[in-house]
Amino acid sequence: MDDRWAPSRRQLLQTMAAAGVVAAADLAWWEEPLVRPGRAWGAQPVRFQFSVPEPKRTALVESLAQRFNQAQKDFEVKVEFVPQAQARQKLVTSIAANNPPDCCQVWDNWVGEFEGMGAVEDLTPRVRDWKHGKDVTPIAWQTVTVKGKILSFPWVVTNDGVYWRTDRAREYGITPPREDWTWDEFRAAARAFTKLDKNQYGFGMRGQGTWAILYATEFMYANGAQVLKDGKVAVNSKEAVEGLEWYLDLFRKDKVCPPSVPTDGWRGIVEGFGRGVTNMYIHNSGSSEEQKDFVGAQNFATLPLPIGPAKKRTSFYFSETLTAFRNGKNREGAWRFMAWLMDDEPNFMYCKTLGLLPARKTLADRPEFAKDPAYAGFIRSFPFSIVSPYLAHAGWGGKLDSEGVPLFQQALVGKLTAREFLDKFADVLAKNMT
């Protein structure tokens, strides 16, 4: 045995015993663990869950909450940051355990699920008297209305467009597309943009997260497909299969997408473009400010989605919502905080800092949005944008992510054909119509 131990054994035991006493004492008075920030004030604080903790957003939301806390003395707002990947699970488990935050920022396609659990505070009566109620575009209200009830504030509302590297296009002699470009032109550009020797790819397709399916669906719509027809799931129609086939082939056959597509989520596509690996990607306006830092404002532009064989195109609106919960501890406080966030200055600051489009008309008309070329692709898409068809049934939001995406990935990697995928996907949708 090791001799070095011998002299210190008693000391060792004494230390261990002392540590045991400390632990026992702590077990007895556990309510206040050793290190803990200062207590909240007398009134019940408002817990606000924010689900996109990246540095810019965190700093922004913290400073907004701070401003609000300084502006009134009745209660304190505490922001809880949860990674997007865990946000839905955290909310659902806390709802099930009857301990939800007072309010949260999520996406419209999750709200239906929470409503299904009977957890969401119905804002309809309050919104009727709210001073900016008429200023919010009807389509934005539509994204947060489930079965006639307004369940959230649309904090921002945005649609999808194509990001495009203008400097690289010049370098490779690619003519910048017109606004009403077609699928063929889109594919040709993606091909011309693909330079394997430079580790560059034409199109950063998304393979992970709900929007992987939403972007694919936009292409299906451009081929004349619909998710629902006469109240029945029609997502596996012939048009849908053909449209999806064409879209998937960009990755599978045309090889204009990076090999990491099946695992690329939001971060993957934005970073891929930002770091110069991809030269086009589809996203909402929310990454435009980011890309100004990454690639420079002068080096990229945004365009509407291309027109499909059906001479159509569609872009889906979605909103980032402010949603309150029925079992929150301070419902009045939650309402006041959310309404404050929708006020002119806070709302403008939030949208402008992050590059998202405000749901309120007076704000969206300001030159910072209306005149900036980085938003052109989105604003010009408004005429043909619709509310996401997957909002039609409350049960779909979560299923898209948990069941739809794994199936979609199988289609991406060639384990399922476009038809097989859509048949299975249609089954999932049909089973969860509520």
Partner 1 sequence: MAPSDATVAVALPRSFSSRRARELMTGYLYLVPVAIALGGTIVVPILKAMHMSLFNYVLIKPQEYGFVGLGNYTRLLRDETFWLTLWNSFVWVFGSVSLQFLGGFAAALLLHQSFRGRAFVRTVTLLPWIVPGVVVALVWEWLYQPNYGVINDVLLRAGVLRDRVAWLSDPGLAMPAVIATNVWRGVPFFAIMLLAGLQAIPEDLYEAARVDGAPVTRRFWHITLPLLRPIIIVATATRVIWTFNYADLIFVMTGGGPANATQITSTYTLLMAYANLDFGYAATLSVVLLVIMLVFTVLYLRVTRGIESVT
Partner 2 sequence: MSRGRGDTAERVLRGPVLWTGITLLTLFALGPFLWVFLTSLKTRADLYATPLRYLPVELTAANYADAWTSKLTPFSRFFANSLWVSSVTMVATTGVSILAGYALARFRFAGRNALLLVFLATQMFPAVLLIAPLLSQWYALGLIDTYQALIYSNLSFTVPFTVWMLVGYFDAIPRDLEESALIDGCGRFGALCRIVLPLAAPGIAATAIFAFVTSWSELLFAITFTTQTEMRTLSAGLLFMVGQYEIQWGQLSAGVMISTVPVAVLFTYLQRHLIRGLSAGALKG
Is 398 near partner 1 (CB under 8 A)?
yes
2 binds, among partner 2, partner 1, none (CB under 5 to 8 A by kind): partner 2
71 binds, among partner 2, partner 1, none (CB under 5 to 8 A by kind): none
Judged by CB under 8 A, which of 61, 155, 409, 428 binds partner 1?
A: 409
Indicate the residue among 24 and 34 with the shorter CB distance to partner 1: 24
Q: What share of the chain is helix, strand, coil (3-state, %, to 5)?
A: 55, 15, 30
Is 401 near partner 1 (CB under 8 A)?
yes
Q: Which amino acid is at 326?
A: R
Taking Cα atoms as reference points, which of 172, 158, 178, 197 lies closest to residue 279?
A: 172
Judged by CB under 8 A, which of 14, 15, 72, 93 binds partner 1?
A: 93
Residues touching partner 1, count (CB under 8 A): 33
Indicate the residue among 124 and 434 with the shorter CB distance to partner 1: 434
Stretch that binds partner 2, among 81-89, 175-183, 339-347, 388-396 (CB under 8 A): 81-89
Taking Cα atoms as reference points, which of 144, 198, 145, 74 lies closest to residue 321?
A: 144
Cβ neighbourhood burial of 215 (10 Å; 0-12, 13-18, 19+): buried
Structure tokens at 291: 């890309």
Dist. CA 136–CA 362, nearest whole Å: 9
Indicate the residue among 5 and 128 with the shorter CB distance to partner 2: 5
61 binds, among partner 2, partner 1, none (CB under 5 to 8 A by kind): none
Q: Give the footprint of partner 1 on residues 57-86 (CB under 8 A).
A: 86
Dist. CA 269–CA 263, nearest whole Å: 10
Q: Find the shortest distance in angstroms from Cβ 270 to partner 2.
A: 8
Is 96 near partner 1 (CB under 8 A)?
yes
- DSSP, collapsed to helix, strand or coil, labels residue 202 as coil
Dist. CA 269–CA 261, nearest whole Å: 8
- DSSP, collapsed to helix, strand or coil, labels residue 313 as coil
Structure tokens at 146: 């489930």
Alpha carbon separation from 283 to 230, 273, 346 (Å, rounded) = 30, 11, 24
Q: Find the shortest distance in angstroms from Cβ 245 to partner 2.
A: 32
Is 14 near partner 1 (CB under 8 A)?
no
Estimate the crossing angle of helix 238-252 against helix 405-412, to 10 degrees.
60
Q: Give the footprint of partner 1 on residues 248-277 (CB under 8 A).
A: 258-264, 275, 277
Is 53 near partner 2 (CB under 8 A)?
yes
Is 40 near partner 2 (CB under 8 A)?
no
Listed in sequence order, the residues at least 6 apart from 362 whose beta carbon sits closer than 8 Å to its beta carbon are 135, 344
417 binds, among partner 2, partner 1, none (CB under 5 to 8 A by kind): none
1 binds, among partner 1, partner 2, none (CB under 5 to 8 A by kind): partner 2
Is 92 near partner 1 (CB under 8 A)?
yes
Is 55 near partner 2 (CB under 8 A)?
yes
Stretch that binds partner 2, among 13-21, 149-157, 243-251, 386-394 (CB under 8 A): 13-21
403 binds, among partner 2, partner 1, none (CB under 5 to 8 A by kind): partner 1
DSSP H helix total and E strand total for the chain:
20, 13
Concatenate the DSSP letters of all residues of 319-364 into one string.
EEEEEEBTT-S-HHHHHHHHHHHTSHHHHHHHHHHHTPPBSBHHHH
Indicate the residue among 72 and 263 with the shorter CB distance to partner 2: 263
Work out the angle at residue 83's Cα, subtended by the Cα atoms of residues 82 and 87, and round it to the nearest 5 degrees. Answer: 65
Is 410 near partner 1 (CB under 8 A)?
yes
Residues touching partner 2, count (CB under 8 A): 46
- DSSP, collapsed to helix, strand or coil, labels residue 169 as helix
Listed in sequence order, the residues at least 6 apart from 60 whose beta carbon sits closer than 8 Å to its beta carbon are 349, 350, 353, 354
Judged by CB under 8 A, which of 63, 86, 175, 362 binds partner 2?
A: 86
Indicate the residue among 95 and 301 with the shorter CB distance to partner 2: 95
Say if residues 124 and 150 touch (Cβ distance below 8 Å). Answer: yes
Is 353 near partner 2 (CB under 8 A)?
no
Indicate the residue among 40 and 85 with the shorter CB distance to partner 1: 85
415 binds, among partner 2, partner 1, none (CB under 5 to 8 A by kind): partner 1
In b/e form, how buried is each residue of 120-131, taking b as 16+ CB within 10 angstroms? bbebeeebeebe
Tokens 């695992």, residue? Answer: 263
Which residues contact partner 2 (rule: CB under 8 A)?
1-2, 5, 9-10, 12-13, 16, 19-20, 22-23, 26-27, 30, 33-35, 37, 52-55, 57-59, 62, 80-86, 90, 93-94, 96-97, 99, 199, 266-267, 270-271, 275
